Amino acid sequence: MIEITDATVLTRLRDFLATAALPDDGRLPPERELAQSLEVGRAALRKALATLQSEGVVWRHVGKGTFTGERPIDTVADINAMVQRTNPLEVMGARIAFEPEVARCAALHATAGQVAEMRSCMLKAQQAPTWRQYEQWDNRLHRTIGEASQNSLLLGLLDTLNAVRRAVTWGRLRDTPLRPPADHHSFEEHARIVAAIADRDGAGAADAMRRHLRSVESHMRDRL
Amino acid sequence: MIEITDATVLTRLRDFLATAALPDDGRLPPERELAQSLEVGRAALRKALATLQSEGVVWRHVGKGTFTGERPIDTVADINAMVQRTNPLEVMGARIAFEPEVARCAALHATAGQVAEMRSCMLKAQQAPTWRQYEQWDNRLHRTIGEASQNSLLLGLLDTLNAVRRAVTWGRLRDTPLRPPADHHSFEEHARIVAAIADRDGAGAADAMRRHLRSVESHMRDRL
DNA sequence: AACCAAAACCAATTCGAAATTGGTTTAGGC
DNA sequence: GCCTAAACCAATTTCGAATTGGTTTTGGTT
């Protein structure tokens, strides 16, 4: 067996990468297979791959394979991982940071139909006979505001945030009054948010949402 | 076999729900098993379950099972779905809405170590010999800002946003100059953001980040 | 003794068939 | 005609085998 230098292996690998027809996800053949087809040993190939990985040309993962390009951040938006890592106060903090900006975008982009739906959700929340149904309409209202931003990515992030929020607060049954009291603070706060959005007042909508969420946060702290 | 009325089945089911020790995810036993233990037929049980489902008491899904409570919104934050639905302009819009608020939180919560890391990333981005390495340090800088918010959920949402962003812009290789020019606009903008964060100036940090992203957006539009 | 290549082993992940679960239809009894 | 049980179908989960990268061991050569 003629001795093959590290440089030769690296050159063959680069040539391979420059010419091979790879699948869409940029996945290379398995090391054992690639070593064979390049006529080099697996250990030498692994050395060359390590070099390319340090240059950001490829990335490798046990059990998955070897891929061209930079290693993606592991954000397979894993909701369960987020739920394990966070807590109710963080959730409130994230909501206070994020949702006013969603409301701001909604004020600039909402359709008349969406504003009408916000009003409908708001009224139904007020008339809800049980807490559970109140929360259904509350959720519907907040999501309609996200839809009204006309930005599917913002909506996706809002949905992610809400999924985490529900999981974090899961099991917290309200064994208190059957339904929200008539003077439930959120009613007036919802009305202010929706009015600002209807008025196309971005700053007003963001401010009203921020006040609403700080109010929710304050009530939440009272219950701890 | 004594005839069992629908009302009886429903009562037994409600009693079961009121007393059973269910797993954390609220999953009920499989229909066939539950029918047996309640001593009712499966068809009758299914009828009762349908009633409870219409009341929002339980939800059912083929292949998964039957669970207490409301059916969760399908927000298994699916990054691929987000990528399919969005576009570069939406990504920029979402960044402009979201990242200034992350910077604001970072200004209030960053540790000295994190500020030092931001500075390091900033300098390394400036000195990067290739666009690829510039982008690595740029990404690192933005993520450190997210970490500095000390809110794992905000960081999770930022990571999600960045994963979508990379997927949406994937394949856009920079075949232009080998490295960023010395007067690349982002350098000064990065410096302003980091300075505001170090100064604990939340509004200043948010404003600097917003300006930076609007600048990026503007350059992006110039390239379309 | 040092080095290298191949083989063996280990940990993480994927794959696919079988099993499970809700949804629907069919068959048989009253 | 109605009801019940059984059979069938579609969606999902489960689990062992296979695959893939990472590391160690073995054996040969210098």
Lowest-pLDDT choice from A10-19, A196-205, B82-91, B104-113: B82-91
Lowest-pLDDT choice from A179-188, B58-67, B103-112: A179-188
A211 pLDDT more than 60: yes
Predicted pLDDT of residue B74: 55
Closest C-alpha to A209, from A138, A94, A103: A103
Lowest-pLDDT choice from A37-46, A72-81, B37-46, B211-220: A72-81
Strand C at less than 7 A from CB of B22 = no
Distance A63 CA to D15 C1' (A): 17
DSSP calls for B28-97: PPPHHHHHHHTTS-HHHHHHHHHHHHHTTSEEEETTTEEEESPPPP-----HHHHHHH--HHHHHHHHHH
Min Cα–Cα distance to chain A from B102, Å? 7
Chain B residues with CB inside 8 Å of A102's CB? 97
B203 touches chain A (CB under 8 A): no
Predicted pLDDT of residue A178: 67
| Residue nearest the C1' of D11 (CA based) | B63
Q: Which residues pair with B60 in a beta bridge?
A: B66
Stretch (H or E) spanning A130 = none
Predicted pLDDT of residue B171: 47
* CB–CB contacts below 8 A, A to B: 136
Predicted pLDDT of residue B176: 57
Residue A173 binned pLDDT confidence (cut-offs 50, 70, 90): very low
Distance A50 CA to D23 C1' (A): 14
Chain A residues with CB inside 8 Å of B91's CB? 153
Predicted pLDDT of residue A75: 46
Stretch (H or E) spanning A176 = none
B136 pLDDT more than 80: no
The CA distance from A64 to A61, in Å, is: 5
Min Cα–Cα distance to chain A from B48, Å? 20
Amino acid occupying residue B68:
T
Predicted pLDDT of residue B160: 85
Predicted pLDDT of residue B73: 59
Would you say B116 and B165 are in contact if contact means Cβ atoms under 8 Å apart? Answer: no
For residues B46 and A135, the model is more confident at B46
Cβ-in-10-Å burial (0-12, 13-18, 19+) of B85 comes to: middle
Predicted pLDDT of residue A26: 86
Query: B97 and A93 in contact by Cβ < 8 A?
Result: no
Token readout for B131 is 């666009």
A77 touches chain B (CB under 8 A): yes
A101 touches chain B (CB under 8 A): yes
Q: What is the pLDDT of residues B91-123, one digit of tens each?
A: 999 999 999 999 999 999 999 999 998 998 898
A122 pLDDT more than 70: yes
The CA distance from B3 to A206, in Å, is: 60
| Residue nearest the C1' of D5 (CA based) | B41
Q: Which residues pair with B39 in a beta bridge?
A: none
DSSP calls for B103-146: HHHHHHH--HHHHHHHHHHHHHHHH-SSHHHHHHHHHHHHHHHH
Q: What is the pLDDT of residues A199-208, one digit of tens each?
A: 999 999 999 9
Q: What is the pLDDT of residues A28-43, one digit of tens each?
A: 999 999 998 988 889 9
Predicted pLDDT of residue B204: 95
Closest C-alpha to A109, from A144, A134, A133: A144
Predicted pLDDT of residue B137: 80
A83 touches chain B (CB under 8 A): no
Map out the domains of chain B with their CATH numbers: 6-68 (1.10.10.10), 79-222 (1.20.120.530)
The per-residue pLDDT of chain B, averaged, comes to: 85
| Nearest nucleic acid nucleotide to B59, CA to C1' distance | C22
Chain B residues with CB inside 8 Å of A77's CB? 77-79, 156, 159-160, 163
Provide ipTM, 2 decimals: 0.66
The per-residue pLDDT of chain A, averaged, comes to: 85
Q: What is the pLDDT of residues A76-103, one digit of tens each?
A: 556 666 777 788 889 999 999 999 999 9
For residues B219 and B31, the model is more confident at B31
Query: B93 and A154 in contact by Cβ < 8 A?
Result: yes
For residues A124 and B154, the model is more confident at B154
Q: What is the pLDDT of residues B149-196, one digit of tens each?
A: 999 899 888 988 887 887 777 545 455 566 777 777 888 999 999 999
